[in-house]
Amino acid sequence: MLLHRIKQITLSLTAATIFFSCVPSRQFEELKSKQSKCEEDKATLMDENTSLKSKVTELEEQLASITKQIKALVNDTTIMGNSFRKLTVNYDKLDQTYDRLLTQMAKIEEGDKEDNKKLMTELQGTKEELQKKEDELRKLELALNSKENNLNNLNADLAKTQKELEAREKRVKELEGVLSRKDSVVKALKDKVAEALMGFKENGLTVEIKNGKVYVSVEERLLFASGSWAVDIKGQDALKKLAKVLETQADVNIMIEGHTDDVPYNGSGNVKDNWDLSVMRATAIVKILTANSKINPKQLTAAGRSEYLPLDASKTVDARKKNRRTEIIITPKLDELFQILESN
């Protein structure tokens, strides 16, 4: 439109020029003035045209950018539409699947009511059984605690017993040592006595060890006449030899026991029966031992056994001969042993 307007102005100017050549000068001036104005308008319009062309170019560039954006949007819209349709299909499928699941869930819930009822019954039974087991467990725990306490007490008692046992073992060893020494002493004493009385073995004298003691057993025929308590010469000789051995043994006790047979003794005076006779014979021997040695009388004891401790209980002549005897029992003193016992 602008170019068209410029063409019209140009034609008008040309026509005016032609016209002015035929008109007077006053009119020519007017026309010339109009021509100048037209040229100014033309220049202004030319500037506007240039500006408009620049704007048109800019608008065309914007239009191309917008067209490109529209195409991109159309393409994105197409893609989104395809995605939407796919999502719609998937949604429909999911919706159908959901409906099927709801139907199945309803069936399952219907079936689960019976199962739940059974499960609840089983659960209740299991709960009761569990409670029972817990009660049993508590009882067992209490019993275990009690046993542990008992075990601790037993361990304490065991430790105490162990200490006592160790002390007793030590004590036993000490006692064994004492007894061993005592046995050695007894054997040595027996050997000394046997050696001192060796010449009287044929006269019914024996020396032996019994129960840790030395037994010197002398038949009646070596010491006394029948029914008498007076020691004859040969018997006195044997007792003197024994006394010489015993006076060196300060750590022994000496028991003299008189024994008779079971034939009643019909005596007179102070000696009336076998009791009296057995005691008198023991006392007679004690007097000979003390009169012929340095034996401390405190070591000696005289005892009568009468007929009540026979070697042979039969009623024969030989048995009664054995039973009529005197036994000198030599016992080592156990002071050391008693001291160990008392100290423990």
**Where among 47, 81, 115 does a domain terminate?**
81
Asked whether residue 70 is assigned to any structural domain, the reply reads yes
**What's the pLDDT score for residue 160?**
87
Q: Residue 231: how many CB atoms within 10 A of its CB?
A: 21
Same-domain status, 75 and 206? no
**What's the pLDDT score for residue 25?**
78
Asked whether residue 170 is assigned to any structural domain, the reply reads no
- Tens of each residue's pLDDT in the chain, 344 residues: 655 666 666 666 565 555 545 556 777 788 888 888 888 888 888 888 898 888 889 888 888 988 888 888 888 888 888 887 887 788 788 778 878 877 887 776 777 777 767 878 887 888 888 888 888 888 888 888 888 888 888 888 888 878 888 877 887 787 777 778 888 889 999 999 999 999 998 888 999 999 999 999 999 999 999 999 999 999 999 999 999 999 999 999 999 999 999 999 987 788 999 999 999 999 999 999 999 999 999 999 999 999 999 999 999 999 999 999 999 999 998 765 555 556 65
**What's the pLDDT score for residue 138?**
86
**What's the pLDDT score for residue 234?**
94
Asked whether residue 331 is assigned to any structural domain, the reply reads yes
Asked whether residue 147 is assigned to any structural domain, the reply reads no
Token readout for 209 is 């060890």
Q: How far apart are CA 64 and CA 331, in angstroms?
A: 147
Sheet holding 205-210, edge to edge: 205-210, 213-219, 325-332, 252-259, 300-306
> Any idea what the CATH number is for the domain that residue 273 is in?
3.30.1330.60
Token readout for 166 is 């160790």
Asked whether residue 262 is assigned to any structural domain, the reply reads yes
Tell me if 338 sits within 8 A of 174, measured CB to CB.
no
End-to-end CA distance of the chain: 147
**Where among 55, 81, 107 does a domain terminate?**
81
**What's the pLDDT score for residue 330?**
96
Asked whether residue 74 is assigned to any structural domain, the reply reads yes
**Where among 56, 81, 106 does a domain terminate?**
81
Alpha helices in the chain (DSSP H): 2-20, 25-196, 220-223, 233-246, 274-291, 317-323, 335-343
| Count of structural domains within the chain | 2
Q: How far apart are CA 76 and CA 82, in angstroms?
A: 10
Cβ-proximal residues to 324 (8 Å cutoff; 6+ apart), any chain: 219, 220, 259, 260, 261
Asked whether residue 55 is assigned to any structural domain, the reply reads yes
**What's the pLDDT score for residue 338?**
59
**What's the pLDDT score for residue 24?**
66
Q: How far apart are CA 186 and CA 334, in angstroms?
A: 12
**What's the pLDDT score for residue 27?**
77
Rounded to two decimals, what is the model's pTM? 0.51
**What's the pLDDT score for residue 98?**
77
Please tell me whether residue 324 adopts helix, strand or coil conformation. coil
Asked whether residue 121 is assigned to any structural domain, the reply reads no
Domain extent, residue 34, equals 2-81
